[in-house]
Amino acid sequence: MKKAETKDDIMNRLSSASLKKEDIVPILKMGTKEEMRILQSLAMQIKQERVGRIVYFRGLVEFSNLCRKNCFYCGLRKENKGVNRFRLSEEEILQAAAFAHEKRYGSLVLQSGENQSEEHIDFICRVVEEIKSKYDLGITLSCGEQSEDTYRRFLASGAHRYLLRIETSSPELYGKWHPGDGKHSFETRLNCLKSLKKIGFQVGSGSMVGVPYQTLEDIAGDILFLRDMEVDMMGIGPFVEHSGTPFYRSEAYSIPREERLKVTLTMIAVLRILLKDVNIASTTAMQALDKFGREKGLLFGANVIMPNLTPATRRKDYLLYEHKPDLDEDALLCDNSLEARIASVGETIGYGQWGDPLHFFRRINHSSSPS
């Protein structure tokens, strides 16, 4: 029988200067209640010391599902003809911003499928400028791969954070998760992340857990990738199937659905222990697998939640995966129950604060200091 991991085992493994995938895999394999409790207490201790037990809200506006890509896992892929394609009007997005302002959420995330048309980019810049002229909200964009010039325009319009998950740090696996049609390249994605960092965005990245063909070794690689890329924010989520995609009922699952939440929580805890002052989101996909998935994420080291502010009538058209929670609730209802649930796990909500990742300021001060 496998020997259980102790607190010292975990800390010794993770603090090794030459940390390797093989050191992380045994932690990802942990499963007993006692082991999970130890990991959780280590992560929470570091969270408390480095970022405090404060949860920052980012109101999520899924403003368009038009996408030029065909990722094998995603319900919004271009070839999924069962999707009603839409883009919210400027006014609808501004209403969501007004709601976020009124509720004292510090920030907004504007997310869409990948659309590189000039018209769409102009639209995004205009909307961001408009929101910034009216409200003191931090703005995060998550609109896929764009040219460096476009990213500069986004920054100039007033957005200051960008989320672009690498999805997987393994180029080989990336090739299995995406069509080889020239539009889906690991290298391009990586270069986008580098551009975003270079031009001054606070950068978020992350990966999925449990996509077909993926092993725990690959996930250990994702953790090392996020550490080495020095990203400021992390979004890790379990893969959840969508019937309109090639990865629905795949034969190639190596992490079964019932284990994906546990592995995601373990990954969050390891990232908190290793990277300390980054922001880590407790993602909606976690809630799709477990009603209290997001609250559990907070208790394993996450400190950001993205309540959904997409107009209720449009949510059913923005299904990256099926069984997305809160589809029928309006933002207000959803927000009230969320607030109570967050308080119930002992966290405070950072109302009215942007909640920028401390890691970002450490990173830029470090890079601008004389060597």
Q: Which structure tokens are listed for 86?
A: 């839409």
Structure letter (DSSP) for residue 207: B
Stretch of 5-13, 65-73, 102-110, 188-196 contacting ligand SF4, by CB under 6 A: 65-73
The answer to whether 110 contacts ligand SF4 (rule: CB under 6 A) is no
Please, which residue, 86 or 351, has the CB nearer to ligand SF4?
Answer: 86
Among 59, 106, 113, 325, binds ligand SF4 (CB under 6 A): 113
d(CA 261, CA 323): 15
Nearest by Cα to 72 from 193, 221, 212, 217:
212
Q: How far is CA 160 from CA 232, 251, 357, in A?
A: 12, 41, 12
Residue 256 token pair: 């079964």
Q: Which residues pair with 208 in a beta bridge?
A: 237
**Pick from ligand SF4, ligand SAH, none: which does 77 bind, CB < 5 to 8 A by kind?**
ligand SF4
Measured CA to CA, the distance from residue 266 to residue 44 in angstroms comes to: 12
Looking at 67-75, 220-228, 249-257, 304-312, which segment touches ligand SF4 (CB under 6 A)?
Answer: 67-75
Q: Strand pairing partners for 165?
A: none
H or E element in which residue 68 lies: none
Query: What SS3 state is found at 155?
Result: helix
Pair 216, 263: CB distance under 8 Å: yes
**Closer residue to ligand SAH (CB): 59 or 113:** 113
Q: Kindly tell me which residue out of 27, 30, 55, 74 binds ligand SF4, with binding defined by CB under 6 A.
A: 74
Per-residue interface string for the shown chain with ligand SF4, residues 310-329, x marking contact by CB under 6 A: ----------x---------
Of 142 and 266, nearer to ligand SF4 (C-beta) is 142
67 lies in the site for ligand SF4, by CB under 6 A: yes
Return the DSSP state at 145.
Answer: -
Candidate residues 13, 47, 58, 69; the one interacting with ligand SF4 per rule CB under 6 A:
69
Binding site for ligand SAH (CB under 6 A): 73-74, 111, 113-114, 142, 144, 164-165, 167, 208, 237, 239-240, 242, 285, 320-321
Nearer to ligand SAH, 40 or 168 (CB): 168
- Indicate the helix (H) or strand (E) that contains 99: helix 90-102
Of 121-180, binders to ligand SF4 (CB under 6 A) are 144
| Residue 142, contacted partner among ligand SF4, ligand SAH, none, CB below 5-8 A by kind | ligand SAH
Which burial class, exposed, middle or buried, applies to 358 when counting CB atoms under 10 A from its CB (0-12, 13-18, 19+)?
middle
Residue 59's SS3 state is strand
Return the closest-CA partner of residue 235 out of 291, 295, 278, 193: 278
CB of 69 to ligand SAH, least distance (A): 7
Residue 141, contacted partner among ligand SF4, ligand SAH, none, CB below 5-8 A by kind: none
Instruction: Check residue 204 for interaction with ligand SF4 (CB under 6 A).
Output: no
The radius of gyration computed from the CA coordinates of the chain, to the nearest angstrom, equals 19
Nearer to ligand SF4, 7 or 85 (CB): 85
Q: How far is the CB of 135 from ligand SF4 (least distance, A)?
A: 26
Could you tell which of ligand SF4, ligand SAH, none binds residue 240, using a CB distance below 5 to 8 A set by kind?
Answer: ligand SAH
Q: For residue 185, what are the contacts with CB-CB under 8 A and spacing of at least 6?
A: none
Query: Where on the chain is the footprint of ligand SF4 (CB under 6 A)?
Result: 67, 69, 71, 74, 76-77, 113-114, 144, 320
